Structure 1
Amino acid sequence: MARLSGRGVIVTGAAGGIGAAFAQALAAEGARVSLCDLRAPEATVAAIRQAGGEAMGAVCDVTDPAAVARMVAGTEERFGRVDGLVNNAALFATLTPRPFEEIASDEFDRILRVNVRGTFECIKAVLPAMRRRGYGKIVNIASGTVFKGTPMMLPYVSSKGAVIALTRSVAREVGSDGIRVNCIAPGLTLSEGLLGREDYPDEYFAAAAGTRCLPRAQQPEDLTGTMGFLLSAESDFMTGQTLVVDGGSVMH
């Protein structure tokens, strides 16, 4: 039996890129997946159904509490349960690396609003459903940049540092409800949003690969095994943790 068989899992930011890879891998593990994004995740839903999986999709801004509540309610109504949440939605691929003193205050606020408050809103929305079952798995997405103090990306790195802090604090508050909250910190990943970008040339990815014990480019599929583990019963006695998945560039 697949390790996520029958579980209802929400994946945010799943219209493409890493989120789509998460959604398809989880469906292959037996999860029934509810996908949301700012654009309709129809292609991902179609790919999952074509492969024999069960999926539903919705347009949802994770910073809008009412929209998030509707998405979660629709998921519970369709699947009868919400066992897992993957907080993948974030601003990254559209950002231009540059010195922090050149970054406008409203851009800083926008990045933290999506990356941190969006995560907060989604966690709040799924808590009632998970508490009713006395069980839940929440996986947040941070970044290896937090451990490196990567320059030229200050708002993004700050937001992902906050996600790690949020993960730890929420884990303390909801453990007695049977809810586990963990975090994955990926390395620089060859996702579709970065391919062909002038500010992310091939040399940039090659330099990142050179910092790794496993010296190659990271693919979205390199993250899906860890995600499946954190959403499954295999990690039931694990919470508040951040797992770096980057081929051994960061060690902590």
Structure 2
Amino acid sequence: MQTLHEYQGFGVSLREITQVFNLFGAEKQVLINETGFGDNKVRGLIDYLKDFNLASNTKELTKLGEEVKKADKRLVEDFSKWLCVYHWSACDHNPALFYLLNCAGNVASLAGFQEAFKLWASANDIQTNYKKPYVTGLISKTLKALTDTEAFEKLRLISIGNDRIERLDPYGVHPLLLAYILYDNRRGRQSITITELLEEPGNIGKFFGYNANSLDNRLNDLAHLGLVKRVQVANLNMVELPFNGSPLALVEKYYAEN
């Protein structure tokens, strides 16, 4: 059974996370001394880096993490923040965020979100019965991170008001970010349908909350870059995936050109 990541009780502060990010690989005591954070906080911030797919363990960055650190070590660019949120939204990283983006719809009741998530989690073999309030804690950290200027508020992924969690038109979505997410979800496929892009968990339609018209516009952006090709097969609107490089190459391309 999957358990929730508690992050030692600490929320998302990119300023604090990047302090650890930029010292990554140093001994734990060095991180504590240099940042002024306690042991628990350092461990919590490392857990965030791991769930953002920037670190593979307590000592090593991922290849993505190395690339981001070279280009944007303070995580100030929208592109870098989107990468963090995208990987954080994986079900095995943050199931509450996964549920919010892929299952809750474009508008959800703030009051009912916790119970709806717990029902979904129980049906998907994710533990929600803890002695401590880990479920409410994770939900609170997640929603605050998405609406906090110290974290990801600028991306406009959601808004919260009048007991509503509502998806917004996302900000700062570069075509190469779209391509990275699209090809990260490729899984060996040479093509994908528009319906799959709108409905497949974690893919660009679900992640950004696009409707059919918004998705169509963004696919046109990718087509102009030669990263997708629009085709009609029988009664299906298909999107061919001609790019043969790794998703990381698209990240490298973005940072090299911007």
TM-score, with structure 2 as normaliser: 0.30
**Between Structure 1 and Structure 2, which shows a larger proportion of helix residues?**
2
The structure with the largest alpha-carbon Rg is: 2
